[in-house]
């Protein structure tokens, strides 16, 4: 069964100087357990599409269903973990309590909360910083805390908007591995926005290439890589071929400006 | 020859209480005397003595208790004339409270004006042997605002009224004299002198000013006489001078008539006996008297002497 | 319509509550009067009686409306009985005081964000200045000015400036400090002078705060003028109207003057709001 | 001629303050305003003497100090009556009501659009007009003063609180929506904390309003105690030193009141950039 | 002559829960015309060091000189163009007027301003957006505008804090090329923070690897690549060797946590 099914989705923003066609005729279906990356130039509608999936925007036309429900129903059933492009931590809560916040909202027990917070803090390598306030951390650390927060409550669908943009490659590699491991173990469905071609290729079962003005999907590339992916798969021939394919698709999209 | 300038500060807002001044202005009595008079209305927040001390006026209309208090505070202020002979202050009670004589005040709530007007009242209560601290053996005192609402709303059993103003308002509000009991300060022997004319002592050294004051007092008394004889016209003149546009004809007419009863018998010359009674009343004013010793040189007769020579 | 309908419905609710309250609050007096006259008063007559009193505890809305209408349209606007005339007297002093107060507030705020000495010396005293009961010192201000030969509009304007400078000061200090660390750092990296930083960064960032405070300040200026009008010899202006209404127990006149004052304030606030929208729009800050 | 001694009073403390301002110590934070104030007082004292200002217009600070010291029990009684009973209770009631109403109308844009413009209108009603009416309704004692204070503080706090509840940025709102939070949860976890800086802005502004309201209302009727009562009575007796002693009490109480609220604000909104400087 | 010379620079932040040693004993000299990249895990002090060079922070100890002057003197002579980690555009100015702002401050003539703004807008491919306000642009476009702003006034020293972090690879590649070209043409000295190893290797004459807690320099790698660098140099052997060297140095730095 398709977890996410988009049929002819359009989305237009009305601005003072005319409408902006942020999504045009988007068709996509994501299966349970897929890891889908979205890649494309800035302004091509990646964020907008992710937000539409999470019921934070409403399509102007077309149908979008999540687990057979409307996105809004899915949101109310807490189907999503969402990592935003900016960390968005609450300045009045420590890192630990920021991570615990969605858990509080979803009614997890106190003991459960503590144990989950500890686990995800460890996962993003911030165990020593649980007691600090967000403004005491560097930008990259804040972003990691925000990832931890989205992971803490084990939603079935993870929507991640450039989660690793502000991180250095080493940490990024580690988090990539950790994320893959998590995905394999839990069978979550993940939609992931990135600007890095190697990252997209390394992580995904499906790579969606988008193009701007109007925002639309120009290619959907199914990965031929196995689900088990050691880091050095990045030196394999398949990997390099896929990377080239993605780069070409991207360049095509850029062609028209 | 240029007219002599003179500024007078009233104690209260423009109303028929001061009809003498407005009539003198309007009928040209001041002009005839070669004066150019500016009349400044007052209000609850204006202490005429303060205006006098600040140089905002040459002469002020003030009640004697406040003037004597200022004199004791070191401000050399003197009475030069006394247009009001009698006191118009009284305590007005609703009859249904059962008050028939001052002996019934015990345990009642009384509205009193402060700002220097409380002293005759305190001295009265003193002579009655009533405490004013709110205990059951005395009376409860409220600082009354500017109107008669506390009586109408039954928040007080009695309130302070002037014969010429607030009493009329109580009647206008729909109560009749039969519903009310009144106690005039005059009749209780605790009256103090009201509207008099006061200047600073140094002013009396200035020959031109003295000349102007002499003419001013003469013309003013003429104004009061005229007003007493023609209350209707006086009320109209007052209404014309009221910049707030809030006064009503009926009310001002009644006020002019009542004020005439208070100025009656005064030529403008201060009666030493009235002065003495005022001082005595103030000196017996309970625990916190407004003056502590009999003042000296608090009035002069040189102006009225020359005016009514 | 989207904006008018809610206001109208809330207004309607208020008027209904007001009528009910007027009946309740004015009834004791009506009963008293009836008792004095020895009549008995059935409910409809009682309600009717509460609507037409000369000195009601709470005048009915239509009485106030009539008072307002008489005051505004009942005579020539130059007449002393015209609320328009009194409103104009009050308005002119308010505008003068508001201008003085707003300029002083902006100047002081500018000094305070640029100088620690100024901040530490002035701020506590600026706060203390606002706790002084203005009605208590207003007469002294008037007397002091009068002794210096200054009367009329200026003393009232000073009192209204005294009340209006504080909100501007507080809002402007906050506004001038809104630029975040990065924006300030950018200016530093360009080696911008203090004046350049002020005009190009601090001031534009402060504008939304400034306008918010100006709205508060203009209302405060109006209150200041009215307070200043009480001891200024109770001659003219809405303050004098209020007070004389109070002396003579003309409840309806008080309420009419009260509403005229509030209406004036509403107009002034709306005017500033319009200037705000225009400015922010031209700056691209209105979204 | 008069200006020379004035300059001599003014310059040394000014220089001292500039020097003190260089050091970030907390002592300087206290010392500087004190020195500044002391300088003002010195100028005042000097001016009263040098220009021969009559005591019935402006008493010298020394006379005010003497009057203050001589009347402490009286001043304390007035303080209790006006500040503690009138202003404080009115402020607490007004603030509580305002916050409650802000939360209630928060869900209804209709009520917000209807109430806020009318709120602005009511907030602009001059206190000198309302005070006599409320005294007529609520009696002479502190209850009517508290009522005046409630009317004065309600709308500034309401407006700030409504603004504060709206102030959360789009990102934070999206986040909490993505977690499927209920209205109540979003309110408690996100929007109330976020509104705190705004709320305190309103609370701080209204501290001084509350004092003024309570004192001024006493001018329109009161029992025979209270700061407004004393001020108007003392003006009548030309006891200006006592008037200014009461004003001093008002200023001290007001500054302390403001300071306490500001202190609580720093505690509650420690995370806000303006507190972190 | 060294343009930037750091000798034993230390910087400690005092925070509520103890001091943070953000820079420890940093020694570095940057020659005129160098392109120096700083790379290292998040929180290792890259931003802090850049800020210290720009006189936005003051070292707790040690000596830092810029063109033989103190950083502060250099700042007053307007020696720096600084691109911050976040765009920091003024919402009340259009993109063009944002870029013109430093020019106004530095007293450029109006004609000169217009011409410079047009040139840099073109460089970052935003010519069509000069009249828009910042909040009408996507995150990546805003970041490009902020780069244009720093380039507009031709400072001798460019300090860039992860300027391309929010951009997709295609645009990033183009901007990398443009930056290199600018650098070669003008002989500017550039200090550049990045998280991307290929980017660092592609751009730099010198790669500084940093490590956190305390923030310090662990390796300085001089590049053997020629100054002329076509994009496909990234497939050369030298490039791959250098990349491995940087990755190893980074990994070492990570070793201790
Ligand atoms: N609230 C909005 N109002 C108007 N236009 C918007 C709004 N949000 C996004 N847009 C426009 O929609 C288009 C797509 O924006 P979106 O944020 O989805 O891009 P993106 O692919 O996420 O870009 P980036 O990689 O820079 O984050 C852009 O042209 C943007 O300017
Ligand atoms: N103002 C400050 N107060 C206290 N600590 C700070 C401050 N600024 C930075 N730090 C600390 O100094 C260290 C270095 O921070 P810096 O911002 O230089 O890191 P960075 O290398 O730029 O990281 P990133 O790649 O995440 O941007 C971090 O541990 C950070 O928490
Ligand atoms: C604050 C204050 N309230 C009442 C009076 C008494 N009073 C003196 S003259 C006058 C006008 C006649 O109605 C009145 C009411 C006052 N002096 N000050
Ligand atoms: Mg995006
Ligand atoms: Mg950084």
pLDDT digits over E10-32, tens only?
999 887 667 888 899 999 999 99
> What pLDDT sits at residue A256?
42
Residues D140 and D15 in one domain: no
CATH architecture of C83-282: Orthogonal Bundle (1.10)
What is the distance in A from the centroid of ligand 2 to the CA of E105?
29
E40–chain A Cβ distance below 8 A for any pair: yes
Chosen domain end from A139, A154, A169? A154
Q: DSSP letter at E207?
A: E
Question: Measured from the CB, is residue A90 less than 6 Å from ligand 1?
Answer: no
Residues A183 and A70 in one domain: yes
- The answer as to whether A196 is a domain residue is yes
The CATH number of residue D250's host domain is 1.10.3720.10
> What pLDDT sits at residue E256?
42
Cis peptide before D198 (omega within 30 of 0): no
Residues D94 and D130 in one domain: yes
Which one, of A50, A57, A109, lies nearest residue A83 by Cα? A50
Q: What is the pLDDT of residues D155-188, one digit of tens each?
A: 888 888 888 888 777 777 777 777 777 888 888 8
| Cβ contact D129–C230 (<8 Å) | no
The two three-digit tokens of residue B280, written as one number: 């005595």
- The answer as to whether A163 is a domain residue is yes
The CATH number of residue E238's host domain is 3.40.50.300
C146–chain B Cβ distance below 8 A for any pair: yes
- The answer as to whether E84 is a domain residue is no
pLDDT tops 60 at residue B184: yes
The two three-digit tokens of residue A171, written as one number: 């940490």
- The answer as to whether D60 is a domain residue is no
| Cβ contact C244–B173 (<8 Å) | no
- Domain of D19 in residue numbering reads as 3-53
What is the distance in A from the centroid of ligand 5 to the CA of A140?
8
- For chains A and E, having 3+ Cβ pairs within 8 Å is answered yes
Token pair 């890589």 in the structure block, residue? A225
Residues E18 and E75 in one domain: yes
Return the partners of chain D (3 or more C-beta pairs < 8 Å): A, B, C
Tell which one of E48, E160, E191, E195 to mutate to probe ligand 2, the residue whose CB is within 8 A of the most ligand atoms: E48
Cβ neighbours of E60 (radius 10 Å): 15
Residue of C nearest to D23 (CA): C116
Residues in chain E: 257
Positive or negative, the CA dihedral C148, C154, C160, C166 is negative
Which of the four pLDDT bands, split at 50, 70 and 90, describes residue A254? Answer: low
Residues D134 and D265 in one domain: yes
CA distances for A179 relative to A148, A163, A204, D125, angstroms: 11, 11, 11, 62
Residues A73 and A97 in one domain: no
Which of the four pLDDT bands, split at 50, 70 and 90, describes residue D24? Answer: low
- The answer as to whether A208 is a domain residue is yes
Residues A69 and A6 in one domain: yes
- The answer as to whether A84 is a domain residue is no
Residues E120 and E144 in one domain: yes
Which of the four pLDDT bands, split at 50, 70 and 90, describes residue B288? Answer: low
> What pLDDT sits at residue A50?
92
> Which residues face B196 on adjacent strands?
B62
pLDDT tops 70 at residue B1: no
Question: Measured from the CB, is residue B248 less than 6 Å from ligand 3?
Answer: no
Minimal-distance CA residue to ligand 3 atom 10: B12
Q: Are A164 and A170 in contact (CB under 8 A)?
A: no
Q: What is the pLDDT of residues A125-154, one digit of tens each?
A: 888 889 988 888 877 788 889 889 988 988
Residues A26 and A141 in one domain: no
Within the 73-102 window of chain B, which residues sit less than 8 Å (CB to CB) from chain D? Answer: 73-75
| Cβ contact E43–A136 (<8 Å) | no
Indicate the average pLDDT of chain D: 84
> What pLDDT sits at residue A257?
44
The highest-confidence range among A87-101, D26-40, D154-168, E158-172, by mean pLDDT, is: A87-101
> What pLDDT sits at residue A255?
52
Cβ neighbours of A58 (radius 10 Å): 12
Distance of CA C184 to the CA centre of its chain: 36
Question: Measured from the CB, is residue E47 less than 6 Å from ligand 2?
Answer: yes
B147–chain D Cβ distance below 8 A for any pair: yes
Name the phi and psi angles at A8, rounded to 5.
Answer: 60, 40
Chosen domain end from E132, E154, E176? E154
For testing the chain A interface, which of D168, D174, D180 should be mutated: the one with the most A CBs within 10 Å?
A: D180
Please report, to the nearest 10 degrees, the dihedral formed by the alpha carbons of residues C18, C74, D128, C229 taken in order: 170
Residues A179 and A74 in one domain: yes
Q: Which residues of chain E have pLDDT under 70?
A: 1, 16-17, 166, 254-257
Give the predicted TM-score (pTM) of the model.
Answer: 0.81
- Which ligand 3 atom is at minimum distance from the Cα of B144? 3
Residues E122 and E207 in one domain: no
Q: DSSP letter at B269?
A: P
> What pLDDT sits at residue B49?
86
Read off the pLDDT of each residue in A93-102 and give the average, rounded to a whole number: 92
Residues E72 and E26 in one domain: yes
Which of the four pLDDT bands, split at 50, 70 and 90, describes residue A61? Answer: very high
Count: domains in chain A: 2
Q: d(Cα B122, Cα A203) in Å, to the nearest integer?
A: 94
Strand-strand pairing, A157-161 and A18-31: unpaired
Chosen domain end from A98, A122, A154? A154
Residues E227 and E210 in one domain: yes
With beta carbons under 8 A apart, name residues in chain D contacting C141.
none
- The answer as to whether D213 is a domain residue is yes
> What pLDDT sits at residue D155?
84
Question: Measured from the CB, is residue E42 less than 6 Å from ligand 2?
Answer: yes
Q: What is the pLDDT of residues D236-256, one digit of tens each?
A: 777 888 989 999 999 889 889
- Which ligand 3 atom is at minimum distance from the Cα of B13? 11
Count: domains in chain D: 2
- Domain of E141 in residue numbering reads as 89-154
How distant is the Cα of E161 from the closest Cα of chain C, in angstroms? 12
**pLDDT one digit per residue (tens) for chain C, 287 residues:** 567 888 888 889 889 998 998 888 888 888 888 887 788 878 888 888 888 887 788 888 888 888 888 888 877 777 777 888 888 888 999 999 999 999 999 999 999 988 888 888 888 888 888 878 777 777 777 777 777 777 778 888 888 998 889 889 988 888 888 777 778 888 888 888 888 889 888 888 888 888 888 988 898 898 888 888 876 555 778 888 887 777 777 788 888 888 888 888 888 988 998 998 888 877 766 55
Which one, of A111, A43, A56, lies nearest residue A88 by Cα? A56
Question: Measured from the CB, is residue A46 less than 6 Å from ligand 1?
Answer: yes
Residues E214 and E229 in one domain: yes
Q: d(Cα B24, Cα B226) in Å, to the nearest integer?
A: 8
Residues D39 and D72 in one domain: no
DSSP sequence for chain D: --HHHHHHHHHHHHHHHHHHHTS--HHHHHHHHHHHHHHHHHHHHHHHHHTT--TTT---HHHHHHHHHHTHHHHHHHHIIIIIIIIIHHHHHHHHHHHHHHHHHHT-HHHHHHHHHHHHHHHTS-HHHHHHHHHHHH-SSHHHHHHHHHHHHHHHHHHHHHHHHH-S-HHHHHHHHHTT--HHHHIIIIIHHHHHHHHHHHHHHHHHHHHHHHHHHGGG-EES-SHHHHHHHHHHTT-HHHHHHHHHHHHHHHHHHHHHHHHHHHHHTTTSHHHH-
- The answer as to whether D61 is a domain residue is no
Question: Measured from the CB, is residue E43 less than 6 Å from ligand 1?
Answer: no
Residues E162 and E135 in one domain: no
Q: What is the pLDDT of residues E185-216, one digit of tens each?
A: 888 999 999 988 889 999 999 999 998 888 89
Question: Measured from the CB, is residue A94 less than 6 Å from ligand 1?
Answer: no
- Which ligand 1 atom is at minimum distance from the Cα of E136? 31
């Amino acid at each position: 069964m398709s977890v996410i099914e988009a049929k002819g989705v359009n989305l237009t923003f009305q601005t003072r100087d005319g409408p902006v066609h942020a999504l045009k005729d988007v068709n996509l279906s994501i299966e349970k357990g897929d890891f889908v990356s979205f890649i494309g130039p800035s302004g091509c509608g990646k964020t907008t599409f992710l937000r539409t999936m999470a019921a934070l925007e409403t399509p102007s036309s077309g149908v979008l269903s999540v687990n057979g429900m409307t996105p809004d129903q899915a949101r109310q059933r807490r189907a999503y973990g969402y990592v935003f492009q900016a960390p968005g931590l609450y300045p009045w809560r420590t890192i630990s309590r920021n991570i615990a916040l969605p858990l509080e909202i979803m009614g997890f027990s106190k003991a459960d909360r503590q144990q989950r917070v500890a686990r995800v803090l460890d996962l993003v390598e911030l165990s020593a910083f649980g007691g600090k306030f967000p403004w005491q951390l560097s930008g990259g650390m804040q972003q990691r805390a925000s990832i931890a927060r989205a992971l803490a409550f084990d939603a079935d669908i993870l929507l991640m908007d450039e989660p690793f943009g502000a991180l250095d490659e080493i940490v990024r590699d580690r988090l990539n591995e950790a994320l893959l491991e998590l995905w394999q173990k839990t069978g979550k469905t993940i939609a992931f926005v990135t600007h890095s071609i190697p990252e997209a290729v390394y992580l995904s079962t499906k790579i969606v290439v988008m193009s701007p003005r109007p925002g639309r999907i120009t290619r959907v590339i199914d990965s031929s890589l196995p689900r088990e992916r050691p880091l050095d798969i990045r030196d394999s021939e398949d990997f390099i071929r896929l990377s080239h394919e993605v780069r070409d698709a991207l360049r095509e999209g850029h062609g028209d400006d | 020859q240029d007219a002599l300038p003179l500024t007078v500060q009233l104690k209260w807002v423009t109303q028929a209480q001061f009809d003498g001044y407005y009539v003198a202005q309007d009928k040209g009595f001041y002009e005839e005397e070669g004066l150019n008079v500016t009349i400044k209305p007052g209000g609850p927040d204006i202490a005429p003595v303060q205006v006098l001390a600040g140089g905002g006026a040459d002469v002020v209309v003030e009640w004697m208790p406040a003037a004597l208090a200022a004199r004791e505070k070191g401000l050399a202020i003197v009475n030069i004339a006394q247009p009001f002979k009698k006191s118009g202050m009284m305590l007005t009670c609703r009859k249904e409270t059962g008050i028939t004589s001052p002996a019934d005040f015990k345990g009642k709530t009384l509205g009193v004006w402060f700002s220097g007007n409380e002293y005759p009242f305190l001295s009265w209560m003193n002579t009655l042997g009533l405490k004013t601290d709110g205990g059951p053996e005395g009376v409860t005192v409220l600082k009354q605002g500017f109107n008669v609402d506390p009586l109408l709303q039954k928040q007080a059993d009695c309130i302070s009224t002037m014969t010429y103003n607030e009493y009329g308002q109580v009647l206008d509000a729909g109560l009749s004299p039969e519903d009310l009991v009144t106690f005039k300060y005059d009749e209780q022997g605790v009256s103090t002198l009201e509207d008099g004319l006061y200047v600073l002592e140094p002013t009396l050294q200035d020959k031109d000013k003295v000349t102007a004051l002499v003419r001013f007092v003469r013309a003013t008394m003429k104004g009061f006489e005229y007003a007493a004889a023609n209350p209707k016209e006086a009320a109209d003149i007052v209404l014309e001078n009221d910049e707030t546009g809030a006064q009503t004809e009926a009310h001002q007419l009644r006020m002019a008539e009542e004020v005439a009863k208070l100025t009656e018998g005064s030529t403008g010359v201060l009666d030493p006996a009235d002065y003495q009674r005022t001082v005595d009343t103030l000196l017996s004013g309970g625990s916190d008297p407004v003056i502590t010793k009999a003042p000296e040189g608090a009035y002069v007769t040189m102006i009225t002497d020359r005016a009514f020579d | 319509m989207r904006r008018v309908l809610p206001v109208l419905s809330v207004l309607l609710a208020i008027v209904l509550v007001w009528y009910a309250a007027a009946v309740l609050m004015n009834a004791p007096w009506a009963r008293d009067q009836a008792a004095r006259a020895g009549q008995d008063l059935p409910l409809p007559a009682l309600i009717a009686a509460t609507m037409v009193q000369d000195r009601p505890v709470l005048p009915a809305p239509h009485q106030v409306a009539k008072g307002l209408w008489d005051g505004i349209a009942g005579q020539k606007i130059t007449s002393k009985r015209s609320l328009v005339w009194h409103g104009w007297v009050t308005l002119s002093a308010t505008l003068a005081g508001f201008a003085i107060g707003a300029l002083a507030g902006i100047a002081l705020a500018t000094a305070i964000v640029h100088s620690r000495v100024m901040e530490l010396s002035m701020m506590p005293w600026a706060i203390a200045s606002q706790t002084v009961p203005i009605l208590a010192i207003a007469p002294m201000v008037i007397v002091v000015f009068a002794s210096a030969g200054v009367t009329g509009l200026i003393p009232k304007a000073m009192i209204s400036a005294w009340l209006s400078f504080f909100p501007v000061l507080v809002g402007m200090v906050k506004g001038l400090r809104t630029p975040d660390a990065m924006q300030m750092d950018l200016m530093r990296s360009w080696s911008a002078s203090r004046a350049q930083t002020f005009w190009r960064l601090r001031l534009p960032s402060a504008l939304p705060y400034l306008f918010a405070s100006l709205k508060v300040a203009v209302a405060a200026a109006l209150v200041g003028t009215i307070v200043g009008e009480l001891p200024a010899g109770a001659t003219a202006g809405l303050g004098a109207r209020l007070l004389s209404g109070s002396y003579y127990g003309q409840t309806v006149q008080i309420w009419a003057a009260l509403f005229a004052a509030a209406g004036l304030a509403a107009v002034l606030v709306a005017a500033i709001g319009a200037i705000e929208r225009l400015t922010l729009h031209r700056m691209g800050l209105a979204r | 001629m008069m200006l020379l001694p004035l300059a001599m009073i003014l310059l040394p403390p000014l220089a001292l303050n500039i020097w003190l301002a260089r050091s970030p110590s907390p002592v300087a934070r206290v010392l500087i305003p004190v020195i500044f104030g002391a300088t003002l007082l010195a100028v005042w004292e000097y001016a009263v003497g040098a220009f021969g200002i009559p005591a019935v217009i402006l008493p010298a600070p020394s006379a005010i100090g003497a009057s203050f010291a001589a009347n402490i029990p009286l001043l304390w009684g007035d303080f209790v009556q006006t500040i503690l009973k009138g202003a404080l209770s009115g402020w607490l009631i007004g603030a509580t009501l305002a916050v409650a109403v802000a939360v209630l109308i928060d869900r209804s844009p209709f009520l917000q659009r209807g109430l806020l413009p009318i709120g602005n209108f009511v907030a602009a009603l001059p206190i000198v007009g309302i005070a006599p009416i409320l005294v007529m309704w609520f009696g002479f004692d502190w209850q009517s003063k508290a009522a005046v204070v409630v009317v004065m503080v309600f709308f500034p706090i309401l407006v700030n609180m409504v603004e504060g509840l709206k102030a959360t940025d789009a990102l934070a709102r999206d986040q909490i929506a993505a977690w499927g939070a209920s209205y109540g949860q979003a309110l408690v976890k996100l929007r109330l904390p976020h509104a705190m800086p705004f709320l305190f802005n309103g609370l701080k502004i209204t501290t001084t309003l509350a004092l003024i309201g309570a004192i001024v209302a006493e001018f329109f009727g009161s029992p025979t105690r209270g700061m407004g009562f004393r001020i108007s009575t003392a003006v009548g007796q030309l006891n200006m030193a006592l008037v200014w002693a009461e004003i001093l009490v008002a200023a001290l109480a007001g500054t302390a009141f403001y300071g306490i609220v500001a202190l609580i604000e720093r505690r509650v909104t420690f995370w806000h950039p303006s507190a972190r400087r």
